[in-house]
Amino acid sequence: MGGKEPNYIITDQDPGILKAVPLVFKKARHRFCMWHIMKKVPTKYGVTREDYIVFIRKINTIIWDEDIEAAEFDARWEEIGEEHGLNNIDWFKEMFSKRNQWVMAHCRDLEMGASAMDQQRRTHKKLDNEDKHTSPKMDTHLALEADGAKVYTHKVFKEF
């Protein structure tokens, strides 16, 4: 970066990185990657819970909403929390307390923060669209591979 400190740093929540960023970058604002956070939601909430599908749709609606304002986000998070018991799960309480580091509605005033999060949203929508409307490239003609192509996202299929 030509010897210049970045204005913003977007990382996962790795404890070492959390400690290092303010030591290395004195002026940079540290934000959390929404994709990494949302990847943890199923394990923190529990995909085996009967209401998981309803819950994930609701939480995604407020997390990925490009137009939601901070106060509305907070109110809807509280609503969802009461309805689905988030207030009893420490991780969700912690993520809400740190919402100014990852929720678009709370980072909108930050020029780079908003553009980076917009990029995450575009990538998320592109991958969703790709998964819904295309099939991954298969290497064999095995029925197992064909079944996997129908069930998994492209990324998981490649791992499979």
Q: With contact defined as beta carbons under 8 Å apart, do 64 and 121 qualify?
A: yes
Q: Which two tokens stand for residue 102?
A: 């990852």
pLDDT of residue 8: 83
Spatial CB neighbours of 135, under 8 Å, sequence gap ≥ 6: 149, 150
pLDDT of residue 65: 85
pLDDT of residue 118: 66
Which structural domain, as residue segments, surrounds residue 159? 131-160
Q: Does any domain span residue 150? A: yes
C-beta atoms surrounding 1 within 10 Å: 5
pTM over 0.85: no
Q: Does any domain span residue 144? A: yes
Q: Does any domain span residue 157? A: yes
Q: Does any domain span residue 94? A: no
Q: Which two tokens stand for residue 13?
A: 């929540």
pLDDT of residue 137: 81
Q: Does any domain span residue 40? A: no
| Per-residue tens of pLDDT for the chain, all 160 residues | 678 888 888 899 999 999 999 999 988 888 899 889 999 999 999 888 889 999 999 999 998 887 899 999 999 999 999 999 998 899 999 999 999 888 888 876 655 445 665 676 677 777 777 777 787 888 888 888 888 787 777 777 777 6
Q: Does any domain span residue 31? A: no
pLDDT of residue 113: 47
pLDDT of residue 144: 82
Structural domain count, the chain? 1
